[in-house]
Structure 1
Amino acid sequence: MTHYRLFRRAALAGALALPILTTGCGLFSQPASESIDPPQNGTQNVSANVDPGSETAAQGDQSQMTLYLSDRNGLLAPVTVMAALGQDEKPGQKALEMMVEGSAYASELPDGFNAVLPKGTAIKQLNLIPDQKLAVVDFSKEFGDYTATEERKIVEAVTWTLTSLPDVQNVKIWMEGKELAEMPQDGMPIDEPLTRAVGINLEAADGVDYSTSAPVTIYFSALSPDNEPYYVPVTRLVNRSNNRAKTAIEQLISGPIGNLPLRAVVTPDVVVKNVSKAKDVVTVELQDDSFQPGTQEPAEMLQAVILSLTENTGLSKVQIKLNGKSDFVDTMNQSYSEPVSRPEHVNAFKS
């Protein structure tokens, strides 16, 4: 039960107890104590404002990278930025530097998004260990200068940012040259490598039985101060099922819960008929009785399905079948006749 302690201090109503992480079974059920591999980088950018995949699409002296920042609602969201890299400067280290409150890069962050690392934090070193798919980051002592209520958000932001790097699935956090066994303020245990199994923006579904629950990560939509839509990942605890990926899409259809200012991206009359996988492709069969052949399906909805499925399965491509057919396009003129790759970057705001 490696990651039990990572959930132990989650800011949910009540404690997330050990049985949450007991092993499930079935096609997509994975023990939460095991990391779900981050989705492999796709070869397409399906939309200019879509996904947290790869971190290093270099263009000349510029590098495209994904940061996890706090939005104006206090939720973490991936944000794609372009940044110049100096000689021998690593994209992952630059991404973390941009996530420091009050850094020299503050003006480069989009409106409505805030850095989450404590002011004055320096990234002393970032080591990537390919054979372990591991990133080890060493922060300066200022990293410990935060309020206890921000502790989980900081862990999530660092973990999800670094696991956006190609071939990084595990993260270790050091401070002043020493590996941390727990976070400095509230004692969140981090003595095991951190993975995306730590979750992000944690919440619990209504009526969930903690003793038989499992986490799924799904993507909803929010609006920036400039009324630009962007995706927000939410890790929701749900009752365990034999097909975790299908459950994830069912939760996506059920929409946001609580008072969070998130928008549903799928209409509630859409039904998930089945979710299956073969090699590197996950196939979802949706039934939408309101869909008329020859019309376009909302791109926002289909992209949220792709993001959610690849996040929960670790697979890189999604085949969407709508009413038994795949010969349709979305409102961005993206064709779904063939499997669609998870986009490389998400939430690339206009400058």
Structure 2
Amino acid sequence: MTHYRLFRRAALAGALALPLLTTGCGLFSQEASESIDPPQNSTQNVSGAADNNGVDTAAAQQTDQSQMTLYLKDQNGLLAPVTVLASLGESEKAGQKAIEMMVEDGQFASELPEGFQAILPKGTTVKQFNLVPDQNLAIVDFSKSFSDYTAAEERQIVEAVTWTLTGMQGIKNVEIWMEGQKLAEMPVDGLPIDGPLTRAVGINLQAADGVNYSQSIPVTLYFAAVTPDDESYYVPVTRLVNRSDNKAKSAIEQLISGPLDTDPLTAVITPDVIVKSVTTTKDVVTVELQDDAYQEGQKEPAQMLQAVILALTENTNATKVQIKLNGKTDVIDTNNQSYSKPVSRPEHVNAFKS
């Protein structure tokens, strides 16, 4: 309990500022809107400890750079979303450029932040990248070098490719091909990929203690980790939990329970917070939290509230989240963001200082 309360006090002091970028920032060119984590149309303006997360806005606009979120391996061996700037030529496709940036020791290796590494095998090239708009489908055709990985890396590669591409506008499904042939299974350890891949594949898979696998459902949560440069960032985890008739409520309860003891991650919410209800109406999911330690007028940790929003939009079809704390919506976070009205998911997560 002491650990979590210290974590909250540190957050309130601004010691932990998780970098998030949203449409409200207006930092980048129009192309940036084509490479975002759904849902879209966020009006939030959440940033890290440095102004614009260390990004030179003018320089980005002058060079027509776009944001894209890649899923890279962190120093703990977990996949994490990392938002980078990339220049796109007239004929370049954002999805293909993102995949090319995920190749180990590739031409874009120097553009990845310290503490993160590309997941695709060295020498991999994208032979063809096609979009099928009416199916919300991206087809990526890799060269033979794509198969130069170990069995232990296979699932992470599938997760990284799938989550990177489905984070882009208009893409919900992914097909992986190699040398012009659609793969029914991955080439090294035979992981089945015969159907279109979606975020249902999960990411950084784990199971809650005591879960009955035959009666389980997956929920995706967001916890915190720290880079070698002492910058905090979110790490998504898909956790198998016992089946429930309210998946969103189960997700927030798991978020409150925190990382597993074996995880190299940090909780983003104190364990004494209670989930009173989670309901969905049209495109808005409303979560009501009870926190007896909360005092009216107190600013709540931004990373806690944003983790709630990330989890709820990941586990429902809602595009906006209404947070109620002790029955009220007049909540302000440590970044002075108001939650009095429903807010949308941040477009980009983990944009580090350059």
Q: Contact conserved, 1:39 with 1:315, CA < 8 A, in 2? A: no
In structure 2, what is the equivalent of residue 331 of structure 1? 334
Using the aligned pairs only, state the percent identity: 71
In structure 2, what is the equivalent of residue 44 of structure 1? 43
Residues 106-142 of structure 1: per-residue CA shift (max 9 Å, x gap): 1100000000000000011111111101000000000
Letter paired with 1:44: T
Q: Contact conserved, 1:255 with 1:266, CA < 8 A, in 2? A: yes
**Whole-angstrom CA distance in 2 between matches of 1:58 and 1:314:** 33
How many equivalent pairs are there? 308
In structure 1, what is the equivalent of residue 98 of structure 2? 95
Q: Contact conserved, 1:58 with 1:64, CA < 8 A, in 2? A: no
In structure 1, what is the equivalent of residue 177 of structure 2? 174
**Whole-angstrom CA distance in 1 between matches of 2:62 and 2:84:** 12
Aligned residue for 1:241, secondary structure, equals coil
Higher helix proportion (structure 1 or 2): 2
Structure 2 residue runs of 5 or longer lacking an equivalent are 1-36, 54-59
Equivalent of 2:160 in 145, 157, 160: 157
- Residue 318 in 1 paired to residue 321 in 2? yes
**Whole-angstrom CA distance in 2 between matches of 1:258 and 1:161:** 28
Aligned residue for 1:245, secondary structure, equals helix
Equivalent of 2:244 in 241, 245, 252: 241
Equivalent of 2:260 in 251, 257, 260: 257
**Whole-angstrom CA distance in 2 between matches of 1:46 and 1:317:** 15
In structure 2, what is the equivalent of residue 275 of structure 1? 278
**Whole-angstrom CA distance in 1 between matches of 2:63 and 2:297:** 41
- CA distance 1:82–1:296, change in 2 (3 Å): same
Deviation at 1:60, TM superposition (A): 5.5
- CA distance 1:59–1:138, change in 2 (3 Å): farther
In structure 1, what is the equivalent of residue 205 of structure 2? 202
Deviation at 1:343, TM superposition (A): 0.7
Deviation at 1:288, TM superposition (A): 0.4
Q: Contact conserved, 1:287 with 1:322, CA < 8 A, in 2? A: yes
**Whole-angstrom CA distance in 2 between matches of 1:146 and 1:154:** 9
Deviation at 1:41, TM superposition (A): 1.3
**Whole-angstrom CA distance in 2 between matches of 1:314 and 1:59:** 36
Letter paired with 2:262: N
- Bigger shift: 157-166 or 253-262? 253-262
Structure 1 segments (4+ residues) deviating >6 Å: none
Q: With structure 1 as the length reference, what TM-score do the two structures score?
A: 0.86
- Within a 5 Å distance, the mapping from 1:71-86 to structure 2 comes to 71-86=74-89
Aligned residue for 1:211, secondary structure, equals helix
**Whole-angstrom CA distance in 1 between matches of 2:269 and 2:210:** 22
Deviation at 1:191, TM superposition (A): 0.4
Q: Contact conserved, 1:163 with 1:170, CA < 8 A, in 2? A: yes
Residues 139-167 of structure 1: per-residue CA shift (max 9 Å, x gap): 00000010010000000000000001102
**Whole-angstrom CA distance in 1 between matches of 2:344 and 2:62:** 21
Aligned residue for 2:348, secondary structure, equals coil
How large is the RMSD of aligned CA atoms in angstroms?
1.4
